[in-house]
Each structure stands twice: as C-alpha cells, then as structure tokens.
Structure 1
Amino acid sequence: MITENQNNLRANRSDVSAQFSRILRERFSLDEDKADEEAITQSISKGIEFRGINLWTLIFAIFIASIGLNVNSTAVIIGAMLISPLMGPIMGIGLGIGINDLTLIQRAIKNISIAVFISLLTSTIYFLISPLHIAQSELLARTSPTVWDAFIAFFGGLAGIIAGSRREKVTNVIPGVAIATALMPPLCTAGYGLATGNFYYFAGAFYLFLINCICISLSTFLMVRFLNFHKKEYLSPDVERRVRNTIWIAVLIVIVPSTYLAYQIVRKTIFEQSAKRFVSNECEFQYRQVINYAARYNRQQSKLELTLVGEPLPKDSINELKNRMVAYGIQDAQLVIKQGSFKDTEVDMNAITNTLADQMIKYSQGAIARKDQTIDSLQNYIRRNQIAGLPVADLRNELKTLMPDVRTFTATKALVMNTSSSRPDTVTLVYAQFSRKHKPTEKRRIERWLQSRTKSKKVKLLIE
C-alpha cells in the first residue's frame, strides 16, 4: 500500500513537472510567428549592401551625428542613430558564421569596411571644416569603452535578430536596438580624433565601435544556432570542411584578442568604480577639499590622483589613506596627492568649476534654509503678538465694572531680562490708578481676573 502511494506521488510530481515545462516552452517559444529561414536570410543579406540609397543615408547620418556631437545635442545624435543603416552587415557576419556561409561573411566584411571608411572620411571632413573644436561631453563619452557597452551591444543584437526573424516585424525593436547599441557616434568620434590629431580619442572610439560590432555579431550567431537555422550545403564534404575551418580560424583571430581586451575593460570598470567609492567614502577632510580626482587604469601600474585645495594634507594622513585603499581592492594603485602650488600641475578647470558650483549650491541651500527659519520665527512672533494683542479699552471697561473707582488703566506685553539668564521672559504689565487705596485681597482678585482675561500666567500689576 505504501509503495503504491509513493508511486502515485511520484507520478503526480512528474505530471506537474511536465505540465510546468510545457507552459514554459509555450510561453518562451520563438517558433510562433517565425518567418521562413530563406526570407530571414534574404532580408539580412539585402541590408548588407552599401550602395545607392544605403550609402547616401549613411553619409547623411554621419553628418547629423557629427553635428550632434559637435554641439552636444543628445536628441540630434539619437536621430542619427535611427537613420544609420550600419546594423545590416554586422548582423550579416553573425548570420554567415551561424549557417557556415563564407560568401555571406565576405560580403558583410567588405561592406562594413566600406561603411567604416566612408564614415571616418565624412566625419573627419566635417570636423576639419567645423569652427567648433572643443570636445563636448557627448563626444568624450565615446572615447572610453566600458563593460556595460559590451553588454548593451550583446543584448541589443539578440533583440535585433529575434525581431528580424518574425513574419510580423516588431517596428519598435530595430530603432531601439540602433539607439542602444550606438554604432554611429563612436565612428564620428574616431573621425574627430583624426581631424584633431588626437590618437587617444581615435583609438578609444574605434575600439568601442569594434566591441559593439563583435558583440552584435556574436549575439546574432548564438540566436541563429538557437533557432536551428539550416547550414549551407556545399558540393562535397571537403569543401564544407575547408569553409568551416576558414570561418572558425577567422573567428578565433577576432575572438581571442577581443576576449583579452574585454577582460581588461572589466578590470578597468571595476577599478574606476572602486576608486569612485573610495573617494566618496574616505576623502572627506577638514580644512581641505577634493576638487578633482582621476582614476587611470593601467595593466602595470594603475594610478589614483587627488587634487586638493586648502591646508596641505599631512604625510601621516596620506599614509592612512593608502592603508584604507585595501578595503576597496585598489591597494596596488599608486596614490598621487596634488596639493599646494599648481603652477606645474595640469588641473581640470571644468572639474574645479563643477565642484565650486556644487559647493555654492550647498551653501546657498543652507543660507536659504536659515533665512526661511528666521522668517518663520518672525512670522510666529508677529502671529503670537497679534493673537496676544491686549484689548486695553475692553479691559478698562470691564475693570471699571468690577472696580468703579479706577481712573486710568493700560496693559501691554513686556520682555523682562533676568541678570542670571540670557533668555527674556514675557510678562503682561498692567498699570492702574485708583481713587482709593486697595487691600491686598482686592489686588490679588484683580491679578487673577487679569490672568484669566489675558490668558497670561505672569501678570505684573502696578497700582498707584
């Protein structure tokens, strides 16, 4: 009986597991609305060619992106990325690797090379004739690739090939992928580097473009294999083997250095983030201020430079900072403190300006808060005085009813300063003149009435 129950329990679990697996497969299946493989291949192959309308569109997009980088306009740059037709040959390379089509790969590489040459030539010409030569923030952002750029390009490529494999094209995916992967701005930035003779800008921007291309091609290849695209058939197994070997040798030539460079990008990103946390958490000093910092990653010797204003930082404090770097994993980096005279030192004036602006904003916010507090206190004081304003005429008439012999009467709120305390005390001061002398009991009765009438605990009655 027990064995039968156990078997039934296992069978129920198996049914539940099978049902759950079926639901997951149905929910995440890519077979629904999948276009014919031949139609997908033809669609991607058609986008590979750079001639006629594609070539002119590329040139115009390069000009638009270059202008956007030049005037630091994000909206213009996004518009250029939407126009750009660069995704076609890059996805063609991944598709060719996935289906073992050497001819498709060669066509894609040829056309992407033409596109890169035209893009660099167009952007270089623009920046040579442009009167604006200052590198704005949008341009500088494309000179130093990070690991996040690689992730964006990879997942963008996955979204692009999935959208391209549908019969009903998802119209918002391809434009979104074009914006996310940002192939156009790095090429324009590389052109700026050529026009200004800045090899660092050219190398960083072109490397960012290559990283994006490789990640998009890799994601396209993986999705093509996941969708089980049929590989191209050749006349003989020997030809197929030679084509396959040629493709994978080329892939290894690209992948091996790319993997190493991607590893360096990861290390660089981790170092920069750790340095930023270190400066934020550990570099709050009294009588001195960090106005700029630079985290420079290098395979041999990384460097963290701090620029300080104010009193010089003592040597023992610098040594303590170096010891604290261990907790952030940057103990191998060289810590450079720039302080005192900056006559021979390169100082980032933009960073100084931004820091001073932040300090001024904080000071202004504090001053505004103090002024608001003062205004509130004065308003409360006025409000209290208005509420506590004594109706002298009414009090006089009421007192005359109680004490008909009253001749003169006045009342006011007064501040009394004690010699042993700096805080003033508020007292209701009342002066009255009567035609006869009153007994102490009558005086106390008048004081109690005044306390009740003026709602004041402290009443000072002066009688003449």
Structure 2
Amino acid sequence: MFNLHEGEDDREKTLEIIKKNIDFQGANLWILACAIIVASVGLNVNSTAVVIGAMLISPLMGPIVGAGFALGVYDFNLLKKSLRNLALATVIGLVFSTLYFYISPFKDVQSEILARTSPNIYDILIAFFGGIVGVIAVTRVEKGNPIPGVAIATALMPPLCVAGFGLATGNWSFFFGAAYLYCINCVFIGIATFLIVKYLKYPPKIQVDEREQRQVRYIISALILVMLLPSAYLAYTLYKEQELKKNIERFVTNEFVDNGFTIVYKRTDLKSANKKLELGFLSKRFEKDEIALYNKKLKNYNVDNTKLVILQDSTDRLLTLKGDILNEIQGSQKIDDRDIRIAELRNEIALNSFDDVSIYSEAKILFPTLEKFSIANHNFLMKKDSVFKETVVIISSEKPLEKEEAKKFEDWLKSKLALQNLQVLQEQRDLNKKVKK
C-alpha cells in the first residue's frame, strides 16, 4: 500500500528535471523577479489571493529540492551549484522586495506581514511534510496536483519579501523573524528531499566512505537542532501567551461582565516583563481595597505576574471615551425616536389615503356622467369633546345622479373600500358655472 516505487518516473529523467530547475537564468530569473514584486504588492495591500498567486509562480523550490537530491546521491558539485543558486535567488528576492517597500508610500504593517514574523515548530512541520509531498510528486510519472499545493503550503516567497520589508523600514525584529522562517522552510524541504531520496535508494554518484556519510548526517542533525530549538521555544511562548489571554478573558467575564459592569476600555500588555491588564468602566467606581482584592483573584485564574489597573474617572482618556460612548448612545436614541415618529406618520398616511385615480377611473366606467371626484377621511367634532372619523366622498356632474343611482354608487364604493360608514355629497354646476349644493 505504501510502496513509492509504484508509478516512479525514470531516475535519470527526474535528475535532469531537477538540474534544469536549479538554474536561475533566462526565464527562471524573470519569473523570480516578477513573483517577488507580486508577493510584495500582495503583502503591501494585505491581499491573500495575490500572495498565494506569487507562491504559485515562484521558482524557489528548484534549488532547495536540488540541494536535497544532491545530498542524497552524494553529488557535491550539484550541491554547491544548488546552494549557490539558492543564495543568488535569496539575494535577488531581498533586493527587489526591499526596493519595492522602500519606494512604496504604504508602509503599514498588515496582517499578512505579521503572520510571517513569528515562526514556530508548526512551521517546521508544514515545511517538512510539505517537502515530502513535493519530492514524492517530483519523482512520479504523473506529477499531478501536489506541486502547486506544496508551493502554497511551504510559502517560500512571502517570508523573503517580509524580510525585505524589515530592511526597507528598519524593523529588525521583522527582518530576523521572516528570515528565520525562510531558513526553516529551505532547510526542512531539503531534509525531506534527502530522506525520500534515501528511502527510494537512488544510487550515489560517487562512493563515499562511512566517515563522509557520518559527516553528512552530522551536518543534517546540526541543522535540525539549530532550526528546531528556537522554533520549539517560540511555539511554547505562543502557547503560554494564548493560555494567558484565555485566562484573562475568563477573569474579566466572571468577575465583571457577569456581574453587570459595563466595560468601555480594555487593554492588555503581555509582551513586557511587567504584564498589565487595564480596564475602564462606564459608571462603576472601585475603591483601593476592591482593586487589591481583584488583583489577588487573578491568581485563581492562573494569571501570574500581571497587574490589574482600573482606570477611574480621573483618567483623561477614559473620560473622553465615556463622553464619546454617551454621545453615541444619545445620538442613536434620537435617531431611534425619529425613526419611530416617521414610521407612525407613514402608518397614518397609509390609513388615510386612497387610490383616487384608480377609483375615479373605475367609477367613470360605471357612472359615465361623473365629472369630478374627491375622497378623504374627515374628523367630525361633536358635543362633550367627542370626535369621530368618517369617509366623505364629493362628486360632481352636470346632471345630478338620481336617488337610485346615488344609492347604487354609495353601495358600490362601500363594497370596494370595505367601509361601513360612508357619506356621499353631490355638487352641481349651474349655467353660470356657480356651484350649487
């Protein structure tokens, strides 16, 4: 089931392909330069899609896989050539990305940049297992889809461009963090390649004695330790920081939020030696002994070496923040009241409006002598300050509707409008165009 010799490509052909992908000249050099610019732009505008595109077109995997193969078959000339080309590609990447970020007017630190500045042991696992998949795909007759996936997973190009960003902005922590991630990817892809070549039992180019083989193993072991120890420490630091954040959130929720205290300001400083949690409340004030008690309670949540600082009304930034929040609440309340009033007026208009044009058009068909038509709801005042509403219709024609016709008109209108109370008034013009009631 796990036999890698099934579907394996001709070994001489595989080595020729690997040697061809090592060189950085002509098309490969153009593709590398363009990929660097594309990745830098993607990081600059925080576009994940663009960064992924740059990973796919990057030819950086070539010399790394070449170095792993060279170690596996003890071809030291190929190893020197692979390392030389990898160094050349790295320098070109740094130069182009540094120039881009130096010229670019946008130097904000985006999330895509931050993601490449703190490598840990998980990046080693990704590089190692991604490298294994990549090498297995290279040795197959049918290369398949793994190669693009490996290019995205191992992500060689973005860390190199982030290192250029660090150089361009003078941010040395970004430079060294990204450079370390780049080295992790290069080393563990190379080691994965070496192991697969050994597993497939590629014949060595030259016969080496046991002492030289031990030297190669020592070099690989030293590289693994150099990459593994710092990344393991960083992974442990990340784990502890995440645990501390989770415990702080639990403390804030249980002690304040669940007790009905409204928090308007929160800031945690967990990077410095003196860790600090700052909180500001909308209305609640705490005495010194209460704050001291809460600081003691922090230890119950496994939050050590962290001081709780509660900002009271005397703090200018808290006063400003409270004012902004209250203004926003009041402003939203005014907007809500206005919206309610508008809705009420619209409701009232809807209840008191009629489709005059449609009713008049239909009435003209049934009562051809009709000339003018008006309909509206009216409030009628009566004794003892009582008011009642009634729908009044005023119609006009040269010849008044007969009593029977008028009754028919009134019944039709009541049925159409689903009304019980309806009053129809007729107007008639005389020969002098004066209106008679």
TM-score (norm 1): 0.61
The 3 A distance-change label for structure 1 pair 263 and 146 is closer
Conserved 8 A contact 1:183-1:212? yes
The 3 A distance-change label for structure 1 pair 314 and 254 is same
The share of aligned pairs that are identical, in percent, is 41
**Structure 1 residue aligned with 2:104, among 106, 130, 137?**
130
The 3 A distance-change label for structure 1 pair 87 and 339 is farther
Question: Partner residue of 2:184?
Answer: 211
Confirm whether residue 314 of structure 1 aligns to residue 291 of structure 2. yes
Confirm whether residue 273 of structure 1 aligns to residue 242 of structure 2. yes
Amino acid at match of 2:231: A
Conserved 8 A contact 1:102-1:247? no
**Structure 1 residue aligned with 2:31, among 57, 66, 71?**
57
Confirm whether residue 198 of structure 1 aligns to residue 167 of structure 2. no
The 3 A distance-change label for structure 1 pair 192 and 267 is same
Q: Deviations 1:263-320 (Å, cap 9, x if unpaired)?
A: 21331232133123213323322343663435439xxx6x654332225671221121
* Whole-angstrom distance in 1 between the partners of 2:193 and 2:317: 45
The 3 A distance-change label for structure 1 pair 218 and 291 is farther
Conserved 8 A contact 2:121-2:228? no
| SS in structure 1 of the partner of residue 149 of structure 2 | helix
Conserved 8 A contact 1:147-1:269? no
The 3 A distance-change label for structure 1 pair 307 and 222 is farther
The 3 A distance-change label for structure 1 pair 321 and 345 is farther
Question: Partner residue of 1:335?
Answer: 306
Conserved 8 A contact 2:39-2:51? yes
| SS in structure 2 of the partner of residue 166 of structure 1 | coil
* Whole-angstrom distance in 2 between the partners of 1:201 and 1:346: 31
Q: Which runs of 5+ in 1 are unaligned?
A: 1-24, 376-464
Deviation at 1:75, TM superposition (A): 1.2
* Whole-angstrom distance in 2 between the partners of 1:102 and 1:290: 61
Confirm whether residue 118 of structure 1 aligns to residue 95 of structure 2. no
The 3 A distance-change label for structure 1 pair 228 and 131 is same
* Whole-angstrom distance in 2 between the partners of 1:224 and 1:174: 17
* Whole-angstrom distance in 1 between the partners of 2:315 and 2:132: 50
Question: Partner residue of 2:346?
Answer: none
**Structure 2 residue aligned with 1:324, among 276, 301, 326?**
301
Larger mean Cα displacement after TM superposition, 311-320 or 121-130: 311-320
Question: Partner residue of 2:71?
Answer: 97
Amino acid at match of 1:146: N
* Whole-angstrom distance in 2 between the partners of 1:272 and 1:346: 27
| SS in structure 2 of the partner of residue 283 of structure 1 | helix
Deviation at 1:131, TM superposition (A): 1.0
Q: Deviations 1:445-464 (Å, cap 9, x if unpaired)?
A: xxxxxxxxxxxxxxxxxxxx
**Structure 1 residue aligned with 2:203, among 230, 236, 240?**
230
* Whole-angstrom distance in 2 between the partners of 1:37 and 1:293: 57
Deviation at 1:220, TM superposition (A): 1.6
Conserved 8 A contact 2:268-2:276? yes
* Whole-angstrom distance in 2 between the partners of 1:245 and 1:343: 69
Conserved 8 A contact 2:279-2:310? yes
Deviation at 1:149, TM superposition (A): 2.0
The 3 A distance-change label for structure 1 pair 256 and 150 is closer
| SS in structure 1 of the partner of residue 25 of structure 2 | coil
The 3 A distance-change label for structure 1 pair 247 and 290 is farther
Q: Which runs of 5+ in 2 are unaligned?
A: 344-437
Deviation at 1:246, TM superposition (A): 4.3
The RMSD of aligned alpha carbons is: 3.5
Deviation at 1:134, TM superposition (A): 0.9
Amino acid at match of 2:252: C
Q: How many residues align?
A: 318
* Whole-angstrom distance in 2 between the partners of 1:179 and 1:211: 15
Question: Partner residue of 1:178?
Answer: 151
Amino acid at match of 1:176: G
Aligned runs of 1:277-316 on 2, under 5 Å? 277-284=246-253, 285=256, 286-288=261-263, 291-296=266-271, 304-310=275-281, 314-316=291-293
Deviation at 1:31, TM superposition (A): 1.9
Conserved 8 A contact 1:99-1:229? yes
Amino acid at match of 2:109: A
* Whole-angstrom distance in 1 between the partners of 2:313 and 2:36: 41
Amino acid at match of 1:272: E
Amino acid at match of 1:335: T
The 3 A distance-change label for structure 1 pair 242 and 335 is same
Amino acid at match of 2:279: L
Conserved 8 A contact 2:280-2:312? no
| SS in structure 1 of the partner of residue 277 of structure 2 | strand
* Whole-angstrom distance in 2 between the partners of 1:99 and 1:165: 14
Amino acid at match of 1:283: V
TM-score (norm 2): 0.65
Conserved 8 A contact 2:119-2:177? yes
Deviation at 1:344, TM superposition (A): 12
The 3 A distance-change label for structure 1 pair 216 and 132 is same
Q: Deviations 1:305-363 (Å, cap 9, x if unpaired)?
A: 433222567122112112321xxxx75xx31445428999999xxxx9xxx99xx9xxx
Conserved 8 A contact 2:291-2:310? no
Question: Partner residue of 2:121?
Answer: 147
Confirm whether residue 260 of structure 1 aligns to residue 218 of structure 2. no
Conserved 8 A contact 2:38-2:50? yes
